[in-house]
Structure 1
Amino acid sequence: MGVWSRWFGKRLTARDGALYDFLGGDDTWAGESVTPKGALNLSAFWAGTRITAETVASLSLDVMEKRSDGVKVRVTDHPLQALLDESPNAEQTAIEFWEERVLGLCTTGNAFAEKAYSGARLVALNPMPAETAVVRNSSGKLEFRFPDRGKEIVLPAEKVFHLKAFGEGDVGFSPVEYARQTLSLTIATEKMAGQAFSKGLRSKGFFVMPPGAKLNDEARASAKKNFVDANSGPNAPWAMLLEGGMDFKTISLSMRDAEMILNRRFNVEDVCRWLGLPPILVGHAAEGQTMWGTGVSAIMQNWLNLSLRNRLKRIEQAITKRIMTPEERRRFAVKFNYEDLLRTDTEARYKAYEVAIRAGFKTINQVRRLEGDEPVDGGDEIRTQMQNVPIDQADAAAQENQP
C-alpha cells in the first residue's frame, strides 16, 4: 500500500517507519531522501512523467454506444461526453484534469476525483490530492480521507473516482516509493556533480611535508593560512608554489575516475525503466543509437503498444467501472481516440485513410469528417476495389470490366 495508506488514521511514534516515509526520510542506500516533488527535480523523471501525462491528456475521449449488431458508434449528446472530454469541473479544462490524474499515477501510483451530482446526474469531477488515504472502515467498506483547509474529509467509495496504477489490493504501487533507491542514487550523483563544479573541480587532499619535517604552532598556523585557507574559498588561486619539498596528495576521486558521465547516462536509463518509456523520448540516445530513423519509429511503436496503451485501457475501464451506472455500462463504453497519435504524421494518416476506404470499412465522408471537411455527394457509399473478389469469380469480374 502507499505511504499515506499506512500512516493515516493511526498514532505514529519515532520508531514508526511510515512516519519517516511521509517526511521523506526513508532509508536509502545513497543516503538521499526521496519524495514525489524531489523526484520531479530530476530532469529524466520530470521529462518522463510530463511526456506520459501530456500524451494521455491530449487524446480525445469518446463515449461509445454498443449497438445490437455489435458495432460501437460515438455518441455526441451523452452527458459524460462533455464532462470527460471538455470540462470536467468549473476550474479545469479536460487536458489539465487528465494531466493531473496521470501525474498521480506516475508518482504516487493513484489518482482521485470527487464526483459531484445534481440530483442523480453527475455534473463534475473535482480534483483530490494524489496522497489521499485509501482505508477500509470497521464495516470493511472503502473510505477516502484527505486534509482540506484544516479538516479531514472522509468520502465513501461511491463519491470517488479512483485511478489505480499497477499494484494489488485497494491502491496502486507508488513508482516513487519503489524506485527510491534508484532515485536516491540519481540525486546523489547529481549532487556530487554540482558540488564538484561549485568547487571548480578541485580535489580534496593533504599538503604533505617532507620526511622528518616538523612544524611549530606558528609555522602550522602560517601553512594553514597560506595553503589550506587560501584554497578553500570560491576565489581560490588557480596555482600556487609548494616550498621545501612539500607535496599535495589527493584523497578524492576525479570525475573521470568516478565514471561520472557513464553513471549519469545510466541513471537516465534507469529512471526511464521505472516509468516504462524508452530513454529516447526524454532526449537520451543509447550508445550508438541515433535520434532519428526507422529504428526510432519501432521503439515508439513498442512504447505505444507495451506501455501507453495499458495506461489508456486502465483509464477507460476505471471510467466505465466507477463513473458509469450499471445500466449505462450495458449500453455505453468510453474509448480514447488512438488516431489522435497520428495527427502530426500527415503521410501515415492519409495512407491509413486510403487503406480504410479501399478495404471498404470507412466511407469517404467518414474520413472527411475526421479531417473537419464538409461531406460530398455520394461520399456515404461503401467502396471497394473490383479486383478484390472471390477467386472463383475472377473470370466473370474480368469480363464485366472489358470495354
Structure 2
Amino acid sequence: MIRFLKAAARGIKQELRAGESGWVNLSGGDPWSVGGHSSAAGKTVNATTALAVSAVWDCVRKTAQVISTLPLAIYEKGEGDSRVKVEDDLCEILCENPNREQTAVEFWEGMTAHAVLRGNGCAEKIFLGKRLVGLKPLLNITPKRNSASELVYDIYDRGKHSTLPADKVFHLRGFGAGDGLGMSAIKYGANSIGAAIAADETAGSVFSNAMMAAGVLSSEHSLNAEQRDQLQAILTKFSGSSKAGKILTLEAGLAYKQLQMNPEDAQLLETRRYSVEDVCRWFGVPPIVIGHSAEGQTMWGSGVEAVMLSWLTLGINPLLVKYEKRILKDLIPIEKRKRWYAEYNREAMLQMDSKAKGDFLLKMRMGGFMSGDEGRDKLNLPRRGGNSDELVVQTSMGLVDLLGKEDK
C-alpha cells in the first residue's frame, strides 16, 4: 500500500509538471492538449486551441511539410573537397524508415511540428545492442534537469512512467535553446494567439445568429414580467441562422427596430486580418505563404517570388542547419563525425518555371559546372552514360589579336 501511494504521488507530480511546462498531459487524451497558458483575451492557449486558428495551423503545416519533403542524405568527405554519399543503416533510418509505423516524411513532419509549435520535438533512440535501428516519436514527455543539472526526460508510455537519459533521446530544439530546451511559440505568443481565438469566436457567434444585429422592440404599453418572458420565448424561435427568413408576427402595438451592423463589423475584418499577420510573425512565416495578402497585393509576381525566397533563406534554412547539426551531434557515431555529415538538398526548395529551369541547366552545362547526366537527373530523366557524364565548357571565345591569323 505504501509503495502504491508513493507511485501515485509521483504520477501526480509528473502530471503537474507536464501541465506547467506545456507538454503533454501524462494522464492521456489528446496529445496536443497540454495544460495551457492564459492570455489577455481570457482564452487558454495550448497546442490544441492554437491549432484551431487557421493561421497557426497553416504556419506550422507549411513549415513542417517543406522541411519533411526535402531530400536528406549522409555524406563522407573525400580528397580535394569531394564527397561521397554514404549508404548506411543510419541513412535508412533518417531518409526512409525511421520506425515500423512511419515513413521518413511523416516522422520529420511530426518532429518539425512539435519543434515549431512547442519548441521541442523528441524521439526515442531504439537500439539493438549498440546499433541504432530506429527512432520512435515521444509525445507524453517532460524534459527537465536533474539534481546534477543533466538533461533527462520523464515519459509516460503504455501506462508506465520512466525516465530516459539524454543519450537515449533524439531532441530537436526550436528557437532559443540556450538552456538545452527550445522556447515555445504558444507560450510566448499566448496573447497574440489568444486574441485570434477570441476574434474567431466572436465572429462565429455573430454568424450563428444569421449575421443579424440585435434589435429592439418598442410599444406604447407596459409589459409585466410574465409577458416579457413570453415575448422572449417567442423571439427565441426566430433567432439563429437556421431560422433566417421566417416571418415574425407582432401584436399589442409592438414594433421591431433593427440595430444596423455592416458585414465588415460583423466579421471583425480588420481585427482578424491583423491577427493573421501577428501570428505569422511568431512563426516566422510571411502571410503570403499561408494565402494571406495585404490590401492591393496580388498572389503572383516577382514581388511574391522575392518574399518566398526570403522565407526559405531566413525561415527554413536556419531550421535545416539546426537539424543537420543535431543529427551530427546525436546520431552520427562519434568516430565518424569528422568525416560524415548530414545535408539537406536546399535546391529542391527552389522550383522554377520551364523556361527559367532550361536557361539555368544550359548555363550550368556550358559553364562546365554540371554534366549532361546531372542535368537529366534534375529533370527526372534516365542517364545516357558515355560522354553525357563528362564536363564540357564553351570555348568559342578567343583573343582579339589572334583573329584572322592562321595556325602555323
TM range (shorter): 0.7 to 0.9
Alignment counterpart, residue 81 of structure 2, candidates 60, 70, 91: 70
How far off is 1:249 after superposition? 8.5
The structure 2 residue matched to 1:138, chosen from 147, 160, 179, is: 147
Q: Which residue number corresponds to residue 48 of structure 2?
A: 37
Distance of aligned partners of 1:229 and 1:159 in 2 relative to their CA distance in 1, 3 Å threshold: same
Query: Does the 8 Å CA contact 1:13/1:19 hold for their aligned counterparts?
Result: no
Q: 297, 316, 323: which is aligned to 2:324?
A: 316
For the residues of structure 2 that align with 1:259 and 1:386, how far apart are their CA atoms? 65
Question: In structure 2, the residue corresponding to 1:73 is in which secondary structure?
Answer: strand
| Residue 388 of structure 2, aligned match among 375, 379, 389 | 379
* Aligned equivalent of 1:149: 158
CA shift, 1:158, in A, is: 0.9
Which amino acid in structure 1 is aligned with residue 141 of structure 2? T
How many angstroms does 1:124 deviate by?
0.7
Distance 2:19 2:135 in 1: 34
Q: Percent identity?
A: 33
CA contact (8 A) 1:356 1:362 kept: yes
Q: Which position in structure 2 is the counterpart of 1:18?
A: 20
Task: Name the stretch that deviates more: 100-109 or 16-25.
Answer: 16-25
CA distance in structure 2 between the partners assigned to 1:24 and 1:400 by the alignment: 84
Whole-angstrom CA distance in 2 between matches of 1:116 and 1:290:
49
Secondary structure (helix, strand or coil) at the match of 1:330 reads coil
Question: Could you tell me how far apart the structure 1 residues matched to 2:109 and 2:311 are?
Answer: 19
Alpha-carbon separation, structure 1, partners of 2:209 and 2:130: 65
* Structure 2: gaps (5+ residues): 1-9, 26-33
| Structure 2 residue 207 is the aligned partner of structure 1 residue 201 | no
What is the match of residue 277 of structure 1? 285
Letter in 2 for 1:37: T
Aligned to 2:5: none
Deviation at 1:259, TM superposition (A): 7.0
Aligned to 2:307: 299
Q: Distance in 1 between matches of 2:394 and 2:132?
A: 47
Partners of 1:187 and 1:201 lie apart in 2 by 19
Q: Counterpart amino acid of 2:382?
A: D
* 1:58-93 per-position Cα deviation (integer Å, ceiling 9, x unaligned): 111011111132233323x23322211111111111
| Alignment of 1:179 onto 2:189 | yes
CA distance in 1, matches of 2:45, 2:390: 60
Alignment of 1:1-400 (within 5 A): 11=13, 18=20, 24=35, 26-75=37-86, 77-129=87-139, 132-167=141-176, 168-204=178-214, 207=217, 214-215=222-223, 217=224, 220-226=225-231, 228-233=232-237, 234=240, 235=243, 241=250, 256-257=264-265, 260-342=268-350, 345-370=353-378, 371-387=380-396, 394-395=399-400
How much has 1:224 moved relative to structure 2? 3.7
CA distance in 1, matches of 2:206, 2:13: 43
- Return closer, same or farther for 1:306/1:9 CA change in 2, 3 Å cut-off: farther
- Distance, in Å, in 2 between the alignment partners of 1:20 and 1:383 is 57
- Name the CA distance, whole Å, in 1 between partners of 2:292 and 2:120: 28
State the TM-score, normalized to the length of structure 1.
0.84
The DSSP-based 3-state class of the residue aligned with 1:172 is coil
Contact in 2 for aligned 1:163/1:315 (Cα 8 Å): yes
One-letter code of the match for 1:231? Answer: L
* C-alpha contact 2:328 2:342 (8 A) present in aligned 1: yes
Aligned to 2:30: none
Pair 1:229–1:401, CA change in 2 (3 A): farther
- How far does the alpha carbon of each residue in 1:254-279 deviate from its partner, in whole angstroms, 9 at most, with x for none? 66447711112221212212111111
Structure 1 residues 28-84: Cα deviation after superposition (integer angstroms, max 9, x where no partner):
111111110111112221112111111111111011111132233323x23322211
Instruction: Give how far 1:381 is off.
Output: 2.5
Q: Distance in 2 between matches of 1:259 and 1:199?
A: 12
In 1, the alpha carbon distance for the partners of 2:134 and 2:183 equals: 27
Q: Deviations over 1:253-311 (max 9, x none)?
A: 76644771111222121221211111112111111000111111111111111101111
CA shift for structure 1 position 96: 0.6
TM superposition shift of 1:395 = 4.0
